[in-house]
Amino acid sequence: MKGKVSLTLKEYKESTAILSALTESERRLDNYLQEHFNEIPYHGIVDVSGNAAVSKATIGRFLNKMGFTGYAAFRRVVEATLSEQKMISPYTLATRPQTRPRRATEEIVAEFNHNVSHLFEHFKGNVDLKSLDQFIDIILDNERKLFVVGPSSSHAMATHFVTLVQYFRDRVTLLNLNAGEVPKALMNLGENDVLIVFSYYRFNNMALRIAELFRDKKATVVLITNSGSNPYGKFCNLQFVLPSDTHSVFKSRIIGFFFIELSLHLAYEKSEGEGNFEQLEALFTFFDTFSSGT
C-alpha cells in the first residue's frame, strides 16, 4: 500500500481477504482491527497489542504483509479517511459564512420531523439485539455495582438513566467529574463493577481516565455514544453507537433518551419481582415528596 493516503474499512477487508497463511495471532489481530476500525486513530500500538492479545512484532509483520511500513503508517492513512467523517462543532456550523433563506415555521418543523423519523428508522435497522440483551443482564445483576458518567450535555442522559434504574436495583452511583470527588467515589473498585458512559460529540478527559481505570481493574465498561470514531472504544466491553444527525446545528440526543427508555422497559419486562418500586413509593409518601395536584 505504498503511497496510499487513505484507507476505508471496505478496502481494508478486501486487502486482508487476499492474504494467505495467516497465523492464529494475525487472524485475531485482523478481527480486532475490523471491529475497532473507526477507533484506530485513538489506538496506540500498545493499545492494539494489549486488546487483541498479540505482540507488537505480530502487528508489524501483519501490516508489512499489507504493504505498510509499520503501525504508525497504517494509523495515519486510516485517520486521513476518518477525518472526513468527523463531526463539526456547533460553533463552526453557526459561524460559517452562509445564506440561509427565510422559511416558514411549518416547513422547518416538517423537515425536522422527517429527519428525526429517519433516526428512528436507522436505529431500528441497526440495533444489536445480542449486545442489548447483555446490557439488560448487566442492569439487572444486583451483585454488580453500577457507576454512570455523562460529561457536558450527556450528563442529562446519565442523570435520567440513574433516576429510573434505581427503581430496579440498588448500588447505582452517578459520578461527579470533579477531580477531587472521583477518587473517593471509586475506592475499592473490583472486577464485578460496571461503568456506563454516556458520551455525545465531544470526549471528556476525566471520563476517559475513569474508563481506563475500569479497564485496568478488569471491570466492565459500556459506552452509549453517537460517534463510531471515539477514544473510549479501546476500554469498552459493549458499545452502542446511536444515530444523531438531524442536519441541524446541534446533534440530536433523541435516540439516546429513547435508548434509555427502551433499555429500562426491557429491564422491567425481563426482571423478576417489582424491584424497588414499592419501597420508593413508600418513602415518597413518608416524605410527602410529590404533590398529588389536588
> Considering only CA atoms, which of 237, 250, 216 is closest in space to residue 35?
237
Query: Could you give the angle at the alpha carbon of 118 between the alpha carbons of 113 and 122, nearest 5°?
Result: 150
23 three-class SS: coil
Q: Which three cell numbers stand for residue 60?
A: 508489524
Domain locations along the chain: 9-84, 118-286
Q: Which three cell numbers stand for residue 252?
A: 440530536
Cα 163 to Cα 169: distance, rounded to the nearest angstrom: 11
Residue 171: DSSP 8-state: -
**Alpha helices for 141-276 (secondary structure H):** 155-165, 182-185, 205-216, 254-270
Residue 206: DSSP 8-state: H
Cα 263 to Cα 279: distance, rounded to the nearest angstrom: 22
| Ordered per-residue pLDDT tens for the chain, 294 residues | 555 677 889 999 999 999 888 999 999 999 999 988 988 988 899 999 999 999 999 999 999 999 999 999 999 999 888 876 555 555 555 555 666 678 899 999 999 999 999 999 999 999 999 999 999 999 999 999 999 999 988 999 999 999 999 998 999 999 999 999 999 999 999 999 999 999 997 788 999 999 999 999 999 999 999 988 889 988 999 999 999 988 887 889 999 999 999 999 999 999 887 788 889 989 999 998 887 655
Tell me if domain 9-84 and domain 118-286 are identical in fold: no
- 268-279 b/e (C-beta count within 10 Å ≥ 16 → b): beeeeeebeeee
- Residue 282's contacts (CB-CB under 8 Å, 6 or more residues apart) are none
222 three-class SS: strand
- Domain 9-84: give its CATH architecture: Orthogonal Bundle (1.10)
CB 228 within 8 A of CB 242: no
What is the model's pLDDT at position 79? 87
Domain 118-286: give its CATH code: 3.40.50.10490
